[in-house]
Structure 1
Amino acid sequence: MTDHNHQFWSRLDDINSGMLGVTSDPRLVPMSHYADRKAGVLWFITAKGTDLANSVAQGAQPAIHVVSDGGQGLYARIHGQLSLSDNAAKLDELWNAVASSWFEDGRQDPDVQLLRLDLTEAEVWATGGKVSFLYQIAKSKITGDKPDMGDHYSLTF
């Protein structure tokens, strides 16, 4: 039997980005996420004044993060509460070369803003990845059976 919670977090750890937005605005934007399994949180580094930062400036808002990665075999719609965070220690922990390329003064840039997505639920499709997909399609052509595309489940955090 598959431990769906473990499967979700393990595969999410190997995916770098997804599309993030607040549910009151249909526009999602590409964002790199940093998963904190123990806390049930996804962290994002953005700039002050972005639409996302402005949308949660007055407090947490319902949000969605969508990931799609055929190589890792994970497709998920993740819901939670998005808020601003001034957690300097967490920002120091997450800071990396990718984040620094977006900010002229690096980690000390006054425009750096940390976002926190406290997860509430996720709908997940977990497949075997690209090789498994090709195998399942070929097998279905030979046997006439429908391909087994993996697990589909929901998680509550």
Structure 2
Amino acid sequence: MSETLTREQSIKHIASIIKDVKFAMLTTVTDEGHMHARPMTTQQTEYDGDLWFIGGKDTEGVHDMGQRPQVNVSYSDPSGSNYVSLTGTAELVEDRAKLDELWNDFYKMYFEGGKEDPNIQLIKIDTHGAELWEGPGKIKGLYEMAKGAITGERGDMGNNETVNL
């Protein structure tokens, strides 16, 4: 990815990397000032600069975001050698139409009352920055590591970019 990409192009590029990653790690800051990461299910909506998650109002993570909204969301796609770390601001949202859009029956195992459960909390992350690591893929990566081991030269192990959104 190049520094010359527009915000929209950067968002589309990030979307292409994270679209098939099933889980993300959402990191918040606790009351004690510690960072705590927890797995969250990636929603089946196109990333447009905002990320959406469904959480429980009674969870530590939702409490943390209510007190300190600055968060980090990490995506890992080891099969493609791609990784994304997004920084942003969490917002706790009550929006029935958005819940209808995001809901699937997978969440019934977390919310006994289904979509009507009063403990459901929508979480919107307004992302404002990202760091991406894009590897060359498994085969080329192994080749570049072997080449580097033999020649002593650094191989092409992909790109690392920082993006302001």
TM-score category by the smaller chain? 0.7 to 0.9
Q: For residues 74 and 97 of structure 1, what CA distance do their matches in structure 2 show?
A: 29
Question: Which consecutive residues of structure 2, in runs of 5 or more, have no partner in the other structure?
Answer: none
Q: Aligned match of 2:47 in 37, 51, 68?
A: 37
Please identify runs of 4+ aligned residues in structure 1 that moved more than 4 A. Answer: 1-4
Per the alignment, residue 16 of structure 1 pairs with 22
1:121 to partner: Cα distance:
0.2
Question: 1:108 and 1:72, CA in 2 relative to 1: closer, same or farther beyond 3 A?
Answer: farther
1:42 to partner: Cα distance:
0.6
1:28 to partner: Cα distance:
1.1
1:9 to partner: Cα distance:
1.4
1:148 and 2:125 matched = no
Question: Which consecutive residues of structure 1, in runs of 5 or more, have no partner in the other structure?
Answer: none
1:83 to partner: Cα distance:
1.3
Q: Aligned match of 2:89 in 81, 88, 95?
A: 81
1:37 to partner: Cα distance:
2.6
Do 1:14 and 1:72's aligned partners in 2 also have CA atoms closer than 8 Å? no
1:91 and 2:79 matched = no
Deviates more, 1:123-132 or 1:43-52: 123-132
1:137 and 2:145 matched = yes
Give SS of 2:35's match. coil
1:142 to partner: Cα distance:
4.4
1:57 to partner: Cα distance:
3.1
1:138 to partner: Cα distance:
2.8
Question: 1:100 and 1:133, CA in 2 relative to 1: closer, same or farther beyond 3 A?
Answer: farther
Equivalent pairs: percent with the same residue?
33
Give SS of 1:67's match. strand
Q: RMSD of the TM alignment (CA)?
A: 2.2
1:64 and 2:62 matched = no
1:115 to partner: Cα distance:
0.5
Q: For residues 88 and 150 of structure 2, what CA distance do their matches in structure 1 show?
A: 43
TM-score computed with the length of structure 1 as normaliser: 0.85
